[in-house]
Amino acid sequence: MLRLTVPISDEEIRSLKVGDTVFLNGVIMTGRDAAHKFMIEHFIKGKPQPDEVVLYDELKEILDGGVIYHCGPVVKKHDDGSYSFVAAGPTTSIREEVYQADVINHFNLKGVIGKGGMGANTLKACQEQPAVYLHAIGGAATLIAQAVKEVIDVKKLEFGVPEAMWVIRVEDFPVVVTMDSHGESIHEQVEARSKEKFAELIA
């Protein structure tokens, strides 16, 4: 079992291979469809507006050498105004394929957490950056939430709780490397084997 602490160096990312099990520690951020679309339109393909400059600078600091988690959490708000995660299961990542490579490259992301894997554009970005895709366990939302030790901040809460960008501190968050910086993808391998098996079955 490997342990990584955010921010993660290029050398640490290059040392990872598909199949490696990792305990992730440090500050990461959640982001789903609305967050990725917003970052592309306002910060990557567009110029931040005056009222967005502070947010842009904050995201650059959080995501530089950092990790984004495809997650729509269930969140509890406490009487003192603080938050905690009740459930934190991964979202299907392929929905972000159209955005992910640009977000990885622009913000110097080192890791993307989700479920189900991603496509060729993201795999290419993982090689170039470098970065890795980390598979979280689907159906274990309550268990994963136990690794979220603190909700530090929330950005764009107006997107709604699942789509907001939650800045969280995690301890020993369990993930598996399924796309690495060397061009290997377990998801591609599974798809190729499935096609071969299907061809055999219908032959």
Is residue 96 within 8 A of residue 57, CB to CB? The reply is no
Q: Which residues of 41-53 are buried (b: 16+ CB within 10 A; e: fewer)?
A: eebeeeeeeeeee
State the burial class of residue 182 (Cβ atoms within 10 Å of its Cβ: 0-12, 13-18, 19+): middle
Is residue 24 within 8 A of residue 6, CB to CB? The reply is yes
Task: Point out the catalytic residue in the list 36, 70, 135, 187.
Answer: 36
Find, among 145, 7, 37, the residue nearest to 83 by Cα.
Answer: 145
Instruction: Tell me the C-alpha distance between 13 and 51, whole Å.
Output: 34
In the residue annotation, 36 being an active-site residue is answered as: yes
Do you find a cis peptide bond into 7, omega within 30 degrees of 0? yes
What amino acid positions are annotated as catalytic residues? 36
